[in-house]
Amino acid sequence: MSRREKLLARLRTYPKDFEWSELETLLKSFGYVVVKKSGGSRRKFVGEDLPLISLHEPHPDKVVKSVYLKQVVEVLLESGIIK
């Protein structure tokens, strides 16, 4: 099982300890790039022919809230990136 497959399986359980770095790694493996245009904590994941994913980067704790994990899974499912 590859790193991407492991992260995706973990993401789908909506864990309470999924870190921002894990989410970045997973989305980058699908072709996303992180855009940090504003001075705030809002981050956009963009990619060629990929739907935009806009999230708040958690701080100071790096754990992503489960509501954001659910949004990411929903976008990836709706766009056909994952099944």
| Boundaries of every domain in the chain | 3-79
Fold of 3-79: Metal Transport, Frataxin; Chain A (3.30.920)
On whether the CB atoms of residues 16 and 62 are closer than 8 A, the answer is no
Measured CA distances, 48 to 7, 11, 14 (Å):
22, 23, 27
Q: What is the pLDDT of residue 50?
A: 97
List strands edge to edge, sheet with 50-56.
33-35, 42-47, 50-56
Q: How do residues 32-57 score in pLDDT, each as one tens digit?
A: 999 987 788 999 999 999 999 999 99
Q: What is the mean pLDDT of the chain?
A: 95
Q: How far apart are CA 2 and CA 8, in angstroms?
A: 10
Q: What is the pLDDT of residue 6?
A: 97
Q: How far apart are CA 37 and CA 71, in angstroms?
A: 21
pTM: 0.92
